Structure 1
Amino acid sequence: MSSKRSLRQKYSQLAKGSVDPRNTTTDRQFVHGDEPVCNRSNNPLFSSILSTRLQRRQVLRGTLAAAVTTMFAGPVLDGLKARPANASSPMLGFKAVPVSEADTIVVPEGYSAHVLTPWGEPITGSYPSYSLNNTGAEQGMQVGQHHDGMHFFPIEGNSPYEGSSVDGLLVMNHEYVEPRYTHAAAIGQALGRDGYPVKADGTREADQVLKEMNGHGVSIVRVSQQSDGRWSVVQDRLNRRVTALTPMDIQGPVRGSDLVKTKYSPDGTRTRGTINNCAHGVTPWNTYLAAEENWAGYFRNGDETIPREHERYGVSTEDSRYGWDLADSGADEYIRFNASTQAASATEDYRNEPNTFGWVVEIDPFNPNSTPVKHTYLGRFAHEGVVFQPPVEGQPIVCYSGDDARFEYIYKYVSTQPYSQATASGALLDDGTLYVARFNEDGSGDWIALTFGENGLTPENGFQDQADVLVNTRAAADFVGATKMDRPEWGAVDPNTGAVYFTLTNNTNRELEQVDAANPRPENRWGQIIRWNEVGGNPTSASFEWDLFVLAGPEDDSRKLSGRTLNEENIFCCPDGLWFDASSRLWIQTDMGEGDMNKGDFVQFGNNQMLAADPNTGEILRFLTGPIGQEITGVVTTPDQRTMFINVQHPGATTTDEAFAAGDINSRWPDQDSSIYPRSATVVITKDDGGIIGT
C-alpha cells in the first residue's frame, strides 16, 4: 500500500503541469532501437514475480538450476504442454543453417532468395532512379529506408490472408534513417549511425531534412511474380508513400483534447506524419497498422520544466535525434520538432507536437486518397506492433501491443462493439477498453483496465479524463501496478489456438539481486519469449495463464520448452520479430544491437538471424542468416505459403565513424558494389521444388 500511495502523490504532482527535468533521465547514449529508461515507478519487476513463483520449486528441487529446468519441462498452460525432449517436429522439414558472419543472405539447402524493393527503388510519381544525389522530393517517390514490419495484401483487396499468391500489395514500415548513407554531403565525414551533416552556422540544409523525413514512414507497392518465378515491382496507381509529412487524422478519446492542440491543428483533430514505425498490424477489415515506436528522441524541449507527457517518454531536453528543427528554411514542418514553449498559447507553437506521436496509425492500402488515422484508444507509448486475435462474428475485436523499452508493459485492447465482417472498420478501434498486464507469481495474470474513473485513475490522483489517461498511458500503467517487463517487442497469436506469444528481447539493466530462475543472468543480454492463454479461451477475459516458451542464449545458458539447452542448430539471442504462419509455425527474428554484434560473447551468434519453431514440441531450427551489421525483421508469406518476404534492415550499421570517414564500409549488401552504400531491402524466399516454406 505504501508504494501505491507514493505513486499517487507523484502523479498528482505531475498532473499539475510539469516536472523538474533535472530529476529525469534523458540518457542520450541510447542507440536507435532503445529508449532511455523512463520508468521510475515502484512496480514489481517481472523477474521478482517469477522468482517468488519458483522459490517453492527450489525448495523441492534444491537448486536454482533445477528450478529453471522444472519450469521449462512442465508448462502450466493446459494447451501448451511440451512433448518429450526427443520428439521430432513434423513442422520443421529443413536442415538448419549454421551461424554466419558473411555479407550475404544464407538460406537452407533447397531454398533460393533474391532481393526486392531496396531503399530508393522508384515506386510512384516520376519514378526517379536511386542515387545518393536524389533530392528530398525524389525520396518521396521511392521506397523508404530501413525496412521493418511488413504485410502482403492479395490484390483482390477482400481479405488480408486470402486471395492471390502471385500478385498483391507489399506494405512495409521504414523505421528510421542513417543520414551518413543518405547524403552525398556526408562522404568523408566521421559520422556514426545517427550522425548528420551540419552547416558551419549550426543549421541543416532543408532538403537534407526533407529527404530524411521522406525516408521514414510506409511504402505501399504492388509486386507480382513473373513467368520466371522472380518477383518485381509493378507501376500501379495504388503505389504510395506515407511519410513524416503526410496529413493524418486523430481519432478516439484524444481527438480535440487540449493536449494535442497545436499551431497546425488548433482544434486538436489532425497532425502531420508518422515516424519510427517498427512492427505493424493487420486488421480483419484489410487495412494496415503502422506502430510508432522510438519517436520521442525526434523532439526536443528546452523549457526549464517539462510536462509528464514528455518526461515519461524521454523527449530530449538537449538536441533532437536528427536536428530536423534546425532546417535552414525555418519552415513550419521542420520547426515543429522543437517542442519548447515559444508563444503565448499551445495553438501558436508546437509544445504539444510530441503528444500527437506514439500512436498506432491505420492506412488503407487500397485507397490511395484516404487519410491515415491515429487511433488513440490503443494507447500512447513505444508501440512495437499490434497483433489481433482471430475475429469472431458477433464478438469484440481483441488486439495486443508491447511497449518496447526496458521495464515497460504489455497491453490489450477490447472493442466495445462486436465484429461484423460486413460492416467492420477502423471505428472498432475508437471505442473500447485498454488494459495493461500484471503477471502474478503463481502463473496467473490479470488485465487491468486503464479507464478514467476506475482503478484510481481519477482527478484526485492526477488524471483529468480519458484523453489524459491515454496521452499518459505509461503513467496510468505505472499507477495501477502493471508488471515491468524486459523490453516487450513483437507479439504473435497462433491462428489455430489463440495462444499469444511475445518476445522480451533483453534488459541489460537487470541487477544481480534481481536474478531468478527464469532470468538466471545479471544483465539480461539474451532475452526470452513469454506466452499465455486467455482464461476459458475467451480473448476478452480479464485474466490469463502464462509461461515461458524459450530462454534464449548460448549453449551453456539457455532453455528450450523440453528443458534442454539450445545447440549449434538454434542458439540465438535478442528475439525481436515474431510471426505465426497459417500452419502455426512460429518464426523468430533476432536483433542484436550494433554495439554488440560480432563482439565478445556475441561472436558465437554471428550475424542476426531468423529461426522457425514448433510451438507444440518447442523445437527450433535456424532458417536464415543475414549480412553484416543488419537486423532481420518483417516476415510474411503469400496465402499459399510458397513465397516468403523478409526484411533486412540497416546493413553496414556496424561501420564505425572513423571507418566511414575513410570509406571503409563493412557491408555493401545487397548491390555488392563498392560505389553503392549498403541498402535495406526486402528478400523473397522460395523453395526450389515450389513447396511450402518451412516444410
Structure 2
Amino acid sequence: MPEKPSSSRPFADILAARLSRRQALKGLGAGSASLLMAGYGLTPQAGAGTQKGAGEFSLTFKELPHGLDEHLAVAEGYQSQILVRWGDALFADAAAFDPQKPSEAAQLRQFGYNNDFIGFVSLPLGSDSSDHGLLTVNHEYTRPAMMYPGAPDSDKLSEELTRANIVAHGLSVVEVKKQKNGQWKLVLDSPYNRRITPWTPMQITGPAAGSKRLQTPDSPDGVQTRGTYGNCAGGVTPWGTILTGEENVDYFFGGDYSNSGETDNYQEFGMQSRHRGSWSKHFARWDMSQTPAEPLHMGWIVEIDPYDPTSVPKKRTVLGRYKHEGANVHINPDGRVVAYSGDDQQFQFLYKFVSLNRYQPDNRAANLRLLDEGQLFCARFSDDGTLNWLPLKVGHGPLTSANGFNHQGDVMLDCRKAAKLLGATPMDRPEDVEVNPVNGQVYVMLTNNSRRKPDNTDAANPRGPNRAGQIVELIAPKGDHASETFNWEMLIVAGPKDEPGTKYHPQISANGWLACPDNCAFDKLGNLWIATDGAEQYDVADGIWACELSGAYRALTKRFLRTPLGAELCGPFFTPDSENLFCAVQHPGQGSTFDKPSTRWPDFDDSLPPRPSVVVITKQGGGRIGS
C-alpha cells in the first residue's frame, strides 16, 4: 500500500478550509432539517424535529453538572431505575446471585457480565410498542478480580471458575414490560428469555463459509461453529433481528501460532502466544498451538433473532472480519440494505456494506437472508470533504492471488489487509456508526488515538496525539447510501472546551464539553445522544450528552447523565416514543478489586461487588426524554 500522505498543517488551518467548503455546500447544517432532507430526497418522519419553530430548542432539560463520584446521576426532572444487574435471574428457576459461590450452572440462568450494547424490539413482532418488548444485551468481557472474592488474575483461574467465567460472556435476551406505576419489570417466565454464550451453536454464512481456513475439530465443514464473545456494540435491523459485533477477541486466545499458516493475519489482529486469560489454559479450543484455525471463527458480525429462541445465530462473513464495534442498518431508497461498521482500533478503518437483494416489508423470511450477499466497501477520506467507498472485491486492484486473495472468502477473512492495500484512511478508533432516521446522514464516533503523531494528521483525524476523539458526519448524495462517493463534515472535535483544537457550538456551557465519544443514539426528533468512554482522564465522569443536528443549536452539546466511578456508558437505546432510554453502565469500579472497590454501585452492600447493570431513564411525570 502506498504510504499515507502526512500533514503537519495546524488544526485551525484544516478546520478553516473545511468550514469554507461547508458554506459552499448548500444547506448543510446551516438551515432547518426539513430543508436539508428535501435537498437529499428524504421525507421527515412524523413528529420529527424539523417541525419545531425557527430558533426553538428541543433539548430543554436542565443540564447536569460535571462531576465524578460513586453514584449514577441524571438531569433534574428525570429518574433512573436499575432494571437488571450482573447475576440477576433471567428465569424463574435461576439460582440467587451469590458471588461467593460462582458456578457455570448458575451463570447460565443469570444475566451476564459487563453489559455493552442494548437492543429493544417491541412485542408483539411488527408493533411499535414502547412499554413491552425484548431487550438483547451484549456481555463484552469480565474482570475476575472484581467479580469473585480473592480471585487471582484471569490467567490463573481454576477450570471450575473458568467455566463460570466463560458463560458470563455472550448475550442475554429477556422480555421486559412497563408496569402501571411506570416501573419496568423482567418477565421471568417468558419463552423468549435466552442466554447466548461462547458455547452456543452457530452457523457461518456468506463468502467465507466452507473455507478450508475455517476447518477445526468443532467445524470440520467450516460452516458450523460455536459461540460469540468480546461482543461490543451492535444494531437492530428493520426486520427485528440483532446484530452483535465481536471486537477484542484476541484476549481470549493463547499458544504458539507460528505453524498456523495465519501468522500475518493473527499478528494483525493482535494475537499473542502468551496466555492472557485462563480459557486457553484449560480448553484446547482457545489454544492456538492445538486449534490453530479457531481465531478465524471470531471477529464477525453475528445476527440473532430474539423472537425465535430456537433459532441458530448466523455469523455474516459478507460484513468482513475485523474488530467490529457494531453494525447499523439503513434501508436505501432503492430498497437495498446498507450497513455501517467501524473497526475499533487505532489506525483502523470505516466500512459500508450494500446488499445484493432488496428489503421486503412483508417478507421477513426473505429479509433474514439479506446479509448473506452483497458488496463490502472501505472508506477513504479526502481533505476536500469528499469520501470514496472502495470495493473490497477479489480481483479488484491489489486484491489478487499474488497478495493471498484467491477468492472472496479470503478478502473477508483478511479484511484489514485488503483495506490497507486499497488505501483506506486509517482512523482514530471508529466505534459506533449510525444513520440518523430523520435527516438520513451518518454519524461516526471516533474515540481517540494516543499513537497518532502530529505530522501524520488529516482533515478527518486532525490531532496527534488525539486524547479526546471527534464526531464526523457523512452525507450521502440525494440520500443514496449505495453511492460510492459521499461528502463529509466535522461535527465535533471533543475535549475540554478551552483546549486548543476542539470544535463545539460557540454557546457551549462549562458542562457541555465531552471526551471520547463511543456509542450514540437518536431520539424521534433526530437529536444525537452521545455516550462516552474515557472522560475520566479529565477528572469528570463518562456519561451521555445530547445535541441537535440542524438550525441555530446544531452541535450544542448538553450533559444529561453521569456514570459512577470507573464506569463507561454504553448502548443507549430509545423506545419508539422516546419516553424511555435504556442505558448500559459497564465496569463500574474499573481498576479496583472485589474487596476494595472504588464504588459498590448499584447495591452499596459491603458483601457485594460493583455490578454492571442496565438502567432505564424516564421523565418524572412522563414525556419525551430531553424535553
Q: TM-score, normalised by structure 2?
A: 0.91
Q: CA deviation at 1:164?
A: 1.6
RMSD, matched Cα: 2.2
Match of 2:81?
114
Alpha carbons 1:82, 1:561 under 8 Å: kept: no
Question: Which whole-Å deviations, capped at 9, do the CAs of 1:335-385 have from their partners, x for residues lacking one?
Answer: 110112x4xxxxxxx211000100000111011111111000000000001
Distance (Å, rounded) in 1 between the aligned partners of 2:536 and 2:431: 22
Aligned counterpart for 1:298 among listed residues 248, 252, 256: 252
Distance change (3 Å), C-alpha of 1:636 and 1:166: same
Distance change (3 Å), C-alpha of 1:556 and 1:88: farther
Match of 2:46?
none
Distance change (3 Å), C-alpha of 1:140 and 1:43: farther
Distance (Å, rounded) in 2 between the aligned partners of 1:370 and 1:44: 48
Q: CA deviation at 1:197?
A: 6.6
Question: Which whole-Å deviations, capped at 9, do the CAs of 1:168-212 have from their partners, x for residues lacking one?
Answer: 1111111111111233451xx5xxxxx3272xxxxx422211111
Alpha carbons 1:518, 1:551 under 8 Å: kept: no
Distance (Å, rounded) in 1 between the aligned partners of 2:160 and 2:30: 56
Aligned counterpart for 2:613 among listed residues 681, 690, 694: 681
Match of 1:282?
236
Distance (Å, rounded) in 2 between the aligned partners of 1:43 and 1:312: 18
Aligned counterpart for 2:227 among listed residues 256, 269, 273: 273
Match of 1:164?
129
Q: TM-score, normalised by structure 1?
A: 0.82
Pair 1:233-2:174 in alignment: no
Distance (Å, rounded) in 2 between the aligned partners of 1:447 and 1:336: 37
- Partner secondary structure for residue 416 of structure 2: helix
Match of 1:339?
288
Distance (Å, rounded) in 1 between the aligned partners of 2:56 and 2:504: 12
Aligned counterpart for 1:531 among listed residues 465, 473, 477: 473
Aligned counterpart for 1:427 among listed residues 369, 388, 405: 369
Match of 1:80?
28
Distance change (3 Å), C-alpha of 1:230 and 1:155: same
Match of 1:494?
436
Match of 1:315?
271
Distance change (3 Å), C-alpha of 1:581 and 1:74: farther
- Partner secondary structure for residue 478 of structure 2: helix
Distance (Å, rounded) in 2 between the aligned partners of 1:559 and 1:95: 27
Distance (Å, rounded) in 2 between the aligned partners of 1:309 and 1:180: 31
Pair 1:471-2:408 in alignment: no
Matched to 1:351, the amino acid is P
Distance (Å, rounded) in 2 between the aligned partners of 1:288 and 1:561: 34
Match of 2:598?
666
**What runs of 5+ residues in structure 2 fail to find an aligned partner?**
33-53
Alpha carbons 1:529, 1:549 under 8 Å: kept: yes
Match of 2:57?
90
Match of 2:567?
630
Alignment of 1:111-190 (within 5 A): 111-124=78-91, 126-132=93-99, 133-158=101-126, 162-186=127-151
- Partner secondary structure for residue 514 of structure 1: coil
Q: CA deviation at 1:404?
A: 0.3
- Partner secondary structure for residue 399 of structure 2: coil
Match of 1:650?
587
Q: CA deviation at 1:558?
A: 6.1
Distance (Å, rounded) in 2 between the aligned partners of 1:242 and 1:690: 34
- Partner secondary structure for residue 181 of structure 1: helix
Pair 1:362-2:303 in alignment: yes
Distance change (3 Å), C-alpha of 1:563 and 1:585: closer
Aligned counterpart for 1:548 among listed residues 474, 477, 490: 490
Matched to 1:353, the amino acid is E
Distance (Å, rounded) in 2 between the aligned partners of 1:486 and 1:388: 22
Distance (Å, rounded) in 2 between the aligned partners of 1:644 and 1:464: 46
Alpha carbons 1:559, 1:566 under 8 Å: kept: no
Distance change (3 Å), C-alpha of 1:563 and 1:108: closer
- Partner secondary structure for residue 145 of structure 2: helix
Matched to 2:216, the amino acid is T
Q: CA deviation at 1:325?
A: 1.8
Distance (Å, rounded) in 2 between the aligned partners of 1:64 and 1:427: 45
Task: Give identity over the alignment, percent.
Answer: 38
Match of 1:584?
526
Alpha carbons 1:174, 1:218 under 8 Å: kept: yes
Matched to 1:180, the amino acid is A
Distance (Å, rounded) in 1 between the aligned partners of 2:14 and 2:505: 10
Distance change (3 Å), C-alpha of 1:70 and 1:439: closer
Distance change (3 Å), C-alpha of 1:544 and 1:678: same
Distance (Å, rounded) in 1 between the aligned partners of 2:435 and 2:476: 12
Aligned counterpart for 2:69 among listed residues 84, 93, 102: 102
Alpha carbons 2:331, 2:359 under 8 Å: kept: no
Distance (Å, rounded) in 1 between the aligned partners of 2:108 and 2:28: 46
Match of 1:640?
577
Distance change (3 Å), C-alpha of 1:395 and 1:518: closer
Question: Which whole-Å deviations, capped at 9, do the CAs of 1:502-539 have from their partners, x for residues lacking one?
Answer: 01100000113235677564310011001111123211
Alpha carbons 2:441, 2:473 under 8 Å: kept: yes
Matched to 1:688, the amino acid is Q
Distance (Å, rounded) in 1 between the aligned partners of 2:194 and 2:258: 41
Distance (Å, rounded) in 2 between the aligned partners of 1:428 and 1:571: 40
Distance (Å, rounded) in 2 between the aligned partners of 1:566 and 1:558: 15
Distance (Å, rounded) in 2 between the aligned partners of 1:72 and 1:674: 54
Question: Which whole-Å deviations, capped at 9, do the CAs of 1:288-343 have from their partners, x for residues lacking one?
Answer: 11110111221124144552221211111222x3220212xxxxxx2110112x4x
Residue range with higher mean Cα deviation, 515-524 or 455-464: 515-524
Distance (Å, rounded) in 2 between the aligned partners of 1:256 and 1:521: 43
Alpha carbons 2:155, 2:278 under 8 Å: kept: no
Distance (Å, rounded) in 2 between the aligned partners of 1:312 and 1:560: 32
- Partner secondary structure for residue 478 of structure 1: helix
Match of 1:207?
160
**What runs of 5+ residues in structure 1 fail to find an aligned partner?**
5-41, 56-62, 190-194, 199-203, 328-333, 343-349
Q: CA deviation at 1:445?
A: 1.0
Alpha carbons 2:11, 2:463 under 8 Å: kept: no
Alignment of 1:328-407 (within 5 A): 334-340=283-289, 342=290, 350-390=291-331, 392=333, 395-407=335-347
Question: Which whole-Å deviations, capped at 9, do the CAs of 1:218-266 have from their partners, x for residues lacking one?
Answer: 1101111122211111121110000111110000011110111101111
Q: CA deviation at 1:493?
A: 0.8
Residue range with higher mean Cα deviation, 520-529 or 171-180: 520-529
Alpha carbons 1:125, 1:141 under 8 Å: kept: no
Distance (Å, rounded) in 2 between the aligned partners of 1:226 and 1:450: 49
Distance (Å, rounded) in 2 between the aligned partners of 1:516 and 1:339: 38
Match of 1:437?
379
Match of 1:408?
348
In the alignment of these two chains, the number of paired residues is 596
- Partner secondary structure for residue 401 of structure 1: strand
Distance (Å, rounded) in 2 between the aligned partners of 1:415 and 1:520: 32
Distance change (3 Å), C-alpha of 1:145 and 1:682: same
